[in-house]
């Protein structure tokens, strides 16, 4: 059994966001966050591995935090989506926390 290697420590965090991707948008509940990205739960993924998505406050059209899908795992009631902050925006972690506050 291999141990998962992570560049950044995950911290549990709650809150809801809207994911906007190529195949539409959906609401998502934040499960945890790290300096490099986050994991959310949604009924369906707004794209596939590698696709870019925008995280926004629910119900707004304001600019958000750009991420890339790095994992989509079905969990029986939806999917868990792993997202990596866009490396062109080095303040993604801080901007995400501001969206959730």
Q: Which of 60, 95, 67 is nearest to 81 (CA)?
A: 67
Q: What is the pLDDT of residue 5?
A: 57
pLDDT digits (tens, 9 = 90+) for 56-91: 988 888 889 999 999 999 998 999 999 999 988 888
Degrees, nearest 5: CA angle 30-34-40: 20
Q: What is the pLDDT of residue 1?
A: 45
CB 1 within 8 A of CB 16: no
Model pTM score? 0.84
What domains lie within the chain, and their CATH numbers? Answer: 11-100 (2.40.10.220)
């Amino acid at each position: 059994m291999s141990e998962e290697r992570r560049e950044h420590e995950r911290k549990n965090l709650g809150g809801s966001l809207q994911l906007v991707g190529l195949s539409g948008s959906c609401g998502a509940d934040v499960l945890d966050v790290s300096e490099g990205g986050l994991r959310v739960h949604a009924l369906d993924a707004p794209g596939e591995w590698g696709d870019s998505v925008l995280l926004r406050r629910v119900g707004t059209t304001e600019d958000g935090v750009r991420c890339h899908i790095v994992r989509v795992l079905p969990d029986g009631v939806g999917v868990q989506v792993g997202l990596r902050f866009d490396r062109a925006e080095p303040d993604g972690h801080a901007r995400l926390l501001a969206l959730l506050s």
